[in-house]
């Protein structure tokens, strides 16, 4: 039992993204064993990679076989006891067009990455958690699941799918002691320097409008999200499952 406690590991997808990299660094400081999934870049987490408690999976989550192979290799090599997962990987609608004018291939790709990528990671990890006797999962959605997103229908649809996947899998896996929840933030303060100029302008206008409607008059911080996520994954949470948590500063 003591060895399992020492070898407990958490997997974080989108680990080089804004939220994912922040969470990776916070769990690194807690001395957790980390399996970090990235697509290509690792610049935001470069300072924690050279450590025996960190392993990297470099893959596109749409590639189920590649992800499964790399994860199995890591678990075999390390004998880590994987018991938690945070899924932050996402791509956004970036054409800023109404649905009727959106390119079908772009729409399909966003759904494929966001929804099929989620399917693939859950399909891979749920059997691991079943074998280990328990597991806790937090997906990241968006408050667009209840308000929609004009000029971003694919992203909005994909996040709605994740919310319902959460509810469904939570019901399916409750008997296996697997807890599944989703955090759906409103606007989050992030580093947007890597986005295109057109997308930054879209975000600025979207945030300007939405901040006026937020009672707390600010965006969510990474700390706001981490506190909730950390609780949902902790030993203190043994009953909350299948829930969608809106982190919106009081906006209904």
Return the active site residues.
Answer: 142, 155, 159
* Structure-token match 């290509």, residue found: 40
Contact criterion met (CB below 8 Å) for 120 and 216: no
Phi-psi domain of 151 (left: phi exceeds 0; alpha: psi -120 through 50; beta: other): left
Q: How far apart are CA 167 and CA 235, in angstroms?
A: 21
Tokens of 227: 């506190």
Token pair 């939405």 is at which residue? 210
């Amino acid at each position: 039992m003591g060895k399992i406690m020492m070898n407990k590991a958490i997997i974080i997808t989108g680990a080089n993204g804004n939220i994912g990299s922040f969470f990776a660094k916070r769990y690194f400081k807690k001395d957790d064993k980390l399996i970090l999934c990235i697509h290509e870049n690792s610049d935001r987490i470069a300072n924690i990679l050279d450590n025996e408690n960190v392993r990297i999976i470099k893959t596109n989550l749409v590639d189920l076989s590649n992800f499964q192979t790399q994860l199995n290799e890591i678990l075999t090599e390390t004998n880590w006891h994987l018991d938690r997962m945070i899924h932050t990987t996402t791509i956004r609608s970036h054409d800023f067009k109404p649905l009727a004018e959106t390119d079908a291939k772009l729409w399909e790709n966003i759904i494929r990455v966001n929804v099929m990528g989620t399917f693939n990671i859950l399909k891979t990890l749920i059997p691991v958690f079943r074998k280990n006797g328990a597991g806790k999962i937090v997906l990241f959605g968006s408050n667009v699941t209840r308000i929609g997103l004009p000029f971003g229908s694919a992203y909005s649809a994909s996040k709605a799918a994740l919310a319902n996947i959460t509810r469904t899998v939570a019901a399916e896996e409750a008997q296996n002691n697997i807890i599944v929840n989703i955090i759906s933030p409103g606007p989050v303060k992030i580093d947007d320097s890597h986005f295109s100029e057109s997308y930054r302008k879209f975000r600025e206008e979207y945030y300007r409008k939405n901040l006026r409607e937020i009672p707390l008059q600010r965006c969510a911080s990474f700390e706001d999200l981490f506190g909730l996520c950390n609780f949902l994954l902790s030993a203190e949470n043994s009953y909350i499952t299948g829930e969608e948590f809106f982190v919106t500063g009081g906006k209904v």
